[in-house]
A and B are shown apart, each in its own frame.
Chain A
Amino acid sequence: MEFFRIHRDIPFMRHALVLNVISAVMFLAAVFFIVTRGLHFSIEFTGGTVVEVAYSEPADINKVRETVEGMGFGEVQVQNFGTSRDVLIRLPLRGDVKQTEVVNRVFTGLCQAAGGQVESAAVTVAGDPATKQQCAKGAERPLELSRSEVVGPQVGRELAIDGAKALAFVIIGIVIYLALRFEWKFGVAGIVANLHDVVIILGFFAFFQWEFSLTVLAAILAVLGYSVNESVVIFDRVREAFRKFRKLDTPQVIDHAITSTISRTIITHGSTQIMVLSMLLFGGPSLHYFAMALTIGICFGIYSSVFVAAAIAMWLGVKREDLVKGGGAAKAADPDDPNAGAVV
């Protein structure tokens, strides 16, 4: 099989301006949505309480909402999660109510609303002796507590700060590495392209008000590394082409580099995307937004490394002299190699 039968270099750079205007517009739109709508931060960042209950039958969301709102915890969110039997309840931080008691009160309230009684039962979970708060209505178990989280405001603030630090560290680290390994122009181009990806992912999360959790943050930082990876492969080729084809000008060299790596770019992204799709399809609700962030990241990763990173490097004025002289440390193609000189 061979998907890519390319006769001559595709003139990517000829369309660079148009495509970059499009990406600039998308970028601005993303910033606009982030600013106006804001991100829907998960409890890990904001602090508060999340209670997830599994009903034995499809849950009556309105009834649950009424019950929880009646407890006076302030602004309460009640929504389905995963299936129609799973209900997710989020409660904001409240100064006057002890956070750690909230879960018990909510569970007890819901249990009573369902006509049951909370009792402590001894169970054996995978061999571990344990006790469990159960909601019993005769022999039935109308609902069960499947998950609960309580996060103090302090922890949330620290996580947000740590996240920002991690982001800054990644950006600086990558710029420095690219600058050392290639040239500062590539460093700047690579990181601009990546921030473009990150901002667009955030834009999606802001627009659809998807939950932005710690795992999503992990996905975004992974995308940062992944997407630079992509730019590096192309830059690597640019350097090689500069050495090999002395007659070509910069846009032609870039076109050649992109053309000769396009098959690998698409196959690699394709296989990563297969994996991520598998997570999206089979991973369940817990991995949903993680896989979503990666999917968007991968799609824009291809696009940005081809059009944004390379084009910015071109506009920054990358020259043959920038790379051929300074790039001695890299394992370059030997000009005397009889097997060298791939012509596409």
Chain B
Amino acid sequence: MNRYPWWKYAMLVVAFVIGLLYTLPNFFGEAPAVQVSSGKVTLKIDSSLVPRVEKALADAQLQPDFVQFDGNSVRARFGDTDTQIRAKDVLSKALNPDANDPSYIVALNLVSRSPAWLTSMRALPMYLGLDLRGGVYFLMQVDMKAALTKRAEALTGDIRSLLREKNIRHTGIVRDGNVVRVTFRDAATLNAAQAALAPALPDLQWDQGTAGSGDLQLTGSLKPQAAIAVQQAALKQNITTLHNRVNELGVAEPVIQQQGADRVVVQLPGVQDTAKAKDIIGRTATLEVRLVDDSTEAAAAAIGSAPVPFGTERYVERGGAPLIVKRQVILTGENLTDAQAGFDGQTQEPAVHLTLDAKGARVFRDITRENIGKRMAILLFEKGKGEVVTAPVIRSEIGGGRVQISGRMTTQEANDTALLLRAGSLAAPMEIVEERTIGPSLGAENITKGFDSVMYGFAAIAVFMCCYYLLFGVFSTLALAFNLLLLVAILSMLQATLTLPGMAAIALTLGMAIDANVLINERVREELRSGASAQAAIQAGYERAWGTILDSNVTTLIAGVALLAFGSGPVRGFAVVHCLGILTSMFSAVVFSRGLVNLWYGRKKKLKSVSIGQVWRPGGDAGKSAQA
């Protein structure tokens, strides 16, 4: 009755092996590494950088453990810090020919020391939260009202130009918060306007009414879905922009995450200077539109055979070709309300669609009318240095504030360009609502203390269980250790961030997990006390305890889920570990410890006694141990 089918053991072995594999990386510690990330918005890092890094290192006769691309940076791990520092110098020289204008950020970093085969199966150590490693934390609030106002402002411009195009006479267009009010003299014009506007601007819903002056009024307000889309886009763009700016700090493993509907969390491990961090994440890149100088002097200057003509500047295009651009700024990023990748309506070529505000639209129309056939450059300025994002040829006068850049672009390039054009600025202003700094020594202290409390607590429980329940106590202790292993493995698999409350939750979960084992052991004892045979007592003990274990854990889980749902920050870190711990503890207490017991006792047909400590029977042979 106490035997497991082979597949149950197979399952336990698989769980154990997986648990071990994914827990392992946490023990290897960290090795010095060099991280190469993009130093410019215009430069995107992809896996093609890996061979370049490898070659540069090979040329300098430096042997990395491995070079790996992880989505937005390339990392090379080294055996010791000497090689790491030399490699850093080698790489910055090789990748950044011009030291004054670096395209790549080469930073020192730490990478898990776990062997390459573990890393290749995505067995990575847990991240350590800021409270365990030190750094700064910002919680930034995005001003969604401003994002909506900006959108309404853009729509106002659209309405104005649409009505002009259709020759519909209105008596005024006013933006009032997030709604646009258009007034008309008579009902016929109003209806005509509504008929024209409704299909052209699907984001708005229209209501008819009467203005204070007695004129007829059409009120356009953003549809709820459109408003949500605007807010989401704004948040996404702000996150992208923050990513680009943080990159510049050269911080290893920065975290930039959305939190809730309108907040962004920025974590910069290792950084201690809040003032500088704030300065960088709060800074804006600027976008400028200027005309390209295509005179013969300029062409000569571009190839370097003549000086740059008066009133112009020399910039480099994304491809690397030089371009002579006039100093006069036509438009700035301020006038750009949106940039999206899409397709040309006629040729179906990939294109970038820009939307300008009312002032921008007017200026743009005048400039394009006067400069058909000439080139126009869109420049992005960062850290005081400009770069040409794109320089299209003006084909016709562009009115209405909707600009399309197309020709010789792949879809990917169109996406990148749109991103670049948006990336320069924040979609909506942000302010810091919460800020924390944790010193590195405090972090190190926290991790030692957290680890110590788990270790001593575990040891004390293990000693007690083994003394009190003898062999069954050993099984319980093993089950508890298995639980810890599974929990750490799952957290590592999820790449969860371990924080101090998370460590506290591990300790508490272990303390509570022993409950299931105690329940089982006490039940088995009780069965023995009432005279059941050894095998039957084991069987009944596990069976009966299961209902109780389930009930008690579900109630605990309810509390855990509530913490997860409503908590934030440290509470959530605690809750994640707590909930996972409850699940793993049920599995390890019920399935794993039973497996051990079955393995030990299950095969013995004539089992006389069980090593579960004293089973005292009231009356009669008091004090007689059940163990022979």
Contact = CB atoms under 8 A, between A and B. Distances in A.
Interface of A: 1-2, 5-8, 44, 52, 54, 99-100, 103-104, 120, 123-133, 144-152, 154-155, 158-159, 162-163, 165-167, 169-170, 173-174, 177-178, 181, 214-215, 217-218, 221-222, 224-226, 228-230, 232-233, 236, 260-261, 263-264, 267-268, 270-279, 281-284, 286-287, 290-291, 294, 330-331, 333, 337, 339-344
Nearest to A151: B434
Given A218-B571, A275-B507, A278-B460, A120 B518 contact: no
A159 B556 contact: no
Interface in B269-319: 269-276, 278
A146 B441 contact: yes
B272 to A, nearest CB: 4
B547 interface: yes
Contact of B562 (A8, A173, A283, A340): A173
A260 B439 CA distance: 51
B456 A282 contact: yes
A218 B501 contact: yes
Contacts of A147: 436-439, 442
Contacts of A123: 272
Given A127-B109, A221-B562, A276-B508, 14 more contacts: A5-B616, A100-B432, A125-B440, A155-B433, A166-B562, A169-B562, A222-B508, A222-B560, A236-B551, A263-B522, A275-B460, A278-B454, A290-B504, A339-B537
B500 A286 contact: yes
Contacts of A5: 616, 618, 622
B353 interface: no
Interface string B469-510: 000000000000000000000000000000011001001101
29 contacts: A1-B468, A2-B615, A5-B616, A6-B618, A103-B437, A128-B252, A130-B271, A131-B272, A131-B273, A133-B272, A133-B274, A147-B436, A148-B435, A152-B434, A155-B139, A167-B562, A173-B561, A221-B562, A222-B559, A229-B515, A236-B548, A268-B515, A279-B453, A283-B450, A287-B450, A291-B504, A337-B540, A339-B533, A342-B530
Contacts of B452: 278, 282-283
Nearest to A264: B522
B508 A275 contact: yes
A229 B141 contact: no
Contacts of B184: none
A271 B566 contact: no
List of 6 A-B pairs having minimum Cβ-Cβ separation, nearest first? A225-B559, A128-B270, A275-B511, A278-B457, A132-B272, A272-B511
Interface string B412-451: 0000000000000000000011111111111001100110
Contact of A232 (B134, B551, B613, B614): B551
A281 B456 CA distance: 10
Nearest to A272: B511
B108 A162 contact: no
A126 B133 contact: yes
B618 A271 contact: no
B435 A236 contact: no
Interface string B531-550: 11100110010011011100
Nearest to A133: B273
B571 A170 contact: no
A165 B566 contact: yes
Contacts of B439: 54, 144-147
A163 B572 CA distance: 11
A284 B616 contact: no
Given A131-B271, A236-B548, A126 B559 contact: no
B553 A229 contact: yes
Given A5-B616, A271-B518, A339-B527, A150 B436 contact: yes
**Most A CB atoms within 10 A — which of B432, B464, B566?**
B566
**Most A CB atoms within 10 A — which of B465, B567, B616?**
B567
A103 B501 CA distance: 25
A268 B522 CA distance: 11
B257 interface: no
B574 interface: yes
Contacts of A150: 432, 434-436
A112 B519 CA distance: 61
A260 B526 contact: yes
B24 interface: no
Interface in B70-113: 107-110
A334 B80 CA distance: 66
B558 A173 contact: yes
B554 interface: yes
A120 B548 contact: no
Contacts of B464: 270-271, 274
Contact of A267 (B507, B518, B543): B518
**Most B CB atoms within 10 A — which of A224, A229, A276?**
A229
A339 B456 contact: no
A7 B514 contact: no
Nearest to A229: B552
A261 B558 CA distance: 23
B527 A342 contact: yes
B522 A287 contact: no
A8 B619 CA distance: 11
Contacts of A260: 526
B547 to A, nearest CB: 4
A331 B543 CA distance: 9
Contacts of A224: 559
B30 interface: yes
A131 B135 CA distance: 10
A146 B546 CA distance: 48
B108 A129 contact: yes
B201 interface: no
